[in-house]
Amino acid sequence: MKKFNIPSFYRSPLIQKVKEFRKQQDPKRRDFAPSVLNYGRIKYYIPRHFGFCYGVENAIEIAFKAIDENPNKNIFLLSQMIHNPEVNKDLEERGIRFLQDTYGNTLIPFSELKDNDVIIIPAFGAPLEILETIKRQNIQTYFYDTTCPFVERVWKKAEQLGKQDYTIIIHGKYQHEETRATFSRSKQYNQSVIIRDIQEAQRLEPYILEQKTQEEFEEEFKNKFSEGFNIHQHFNRIGVINQTTMLATETEEISEYLKQVMIKKFGDKNINEHFADTHDTLCYATNENQTSVMHLLNSDADLAIVVGGYNSSNTSHLVELLQTKFPCYFIASSREILSEHRIRHFDLHSKQIKETENFLPQKYEIKVILTGGASCPDALLEEVIQRLNELLKVEEEESVDVLK
């Protein structure tokens, strides 16, 4: 796999030591057993795969290249490059400004762009409508495109499905940048619908089976389908693609569920004429990270800490998996660990920041699951380790092993 030129301050000698150990122990990356970073009193269970993925490293390399190559120009990010507050803050401190927020709301009007300004397209990609709006300014704007290659692969699958006259079902969060970028393309290829989860897939069933009306569909899925969508015409051939950072298992569940709905409607004899096999739209990093976390669910850990941006889709899904078994604390950085007794963290259910007392168990030996999302620098994980070790007055040298 390609090596990227990532600033050293995002790296971590400690985390790199863990990665190198696993690379030597498992060069083919097939062993999903967690790593153990052992300090005696405290052990950190670290999943086999975590942190910066290919697409994020690619985006960071391009963004810093844009800064280096344009010292006297205005540089704008179309929106957050990745969903990590530390990385985005760092880019802002280097002079980059955001044209939009993460939901597509305008922060700086496109009309203020001038000749020779530079725009960086985020790793999620950008909706075609926005790119066309910028081009209509009739100015010489220079683009640096950091779109993840795995997102572009989903776009190609959407194009392939559309050309084969399949309606495109997108599993994604409607307001997420990547989903908006994907939808802007898929609806050019063929009719498209966005669904958030298996519950929305189930709500789609009566429309596929024509048990509910067009008017009900338009009300229930308002703003989530392409113009001209007709439930009587466009649910005869369907294929599922996804926002690459969703739960891989849920995309598979949705795909299998909708396949069974199509079998109910058309029978299974010629199901391939009505339902497309699209399993290859799943992102490898999302899949690996989630599988690695699932291998931790049977461990004897006391708690889990997940580091990442609170608006990060792939990170939130790691939290969802871990909190089924452990007390799980979703934090942006080590600064959220206020003391050995108190932690400030993001609650996925209430979407609020909260503080929890006595988050560490009241015993001498503690086992902590520690991981980060695909947009989380390794350095942030090392800072969490240093913070906990300092609070617990851990002085032993670390050792690395594989959890048996």
Cβ atoms 156, 104 nearer than 8 A: no
- φ, ψ dihedrals at 397, nearest 5°: -70, 150
Question: What per-residue string of b and e applies to 110-146 under the rule 16 or more CB within 10 Å gives b?
Answer: beebeeebbbbbbbbbbbeebbeebeeeeeebeebbb
Element at 295 (helix H, strand E): none
Let me know if 178 is a catalytic residue: yes
Cβ atoms 281, 148 nearer than 8 A: no
Q: Quick one: 192 exposed, middle or buried, by C-beta within 10 A (0-12, 13-18, 19+)?
A: buried
Torsion, Cα of 95, 96, 101, 104 (10° steps): 150
- φ, ψ dihedrals at 135, nearest 5°: -65, -30
Element at 268 (helix H, strand E): none
Which residues partner with 38 through β-bridges? 43, 399
Helix, strand, coil percentages (3-state) for the chain, rounded to 5, are 40, 20, 40
First to last CA, the chain: 28
Cβ atoms 168, 189 nearer than 8 A: yes
**Could you say which of 57, 178, 382, 383 is catalytic?**
178
Cβ neighbours of residue 226 closer than 8 Å, sequence gap 6 or more: 183, 186, 187, 191, 192, 193
Q: Helices then strands (H, E): number in the chain?
A: 12, 15
Residues known to be catalytic: 178
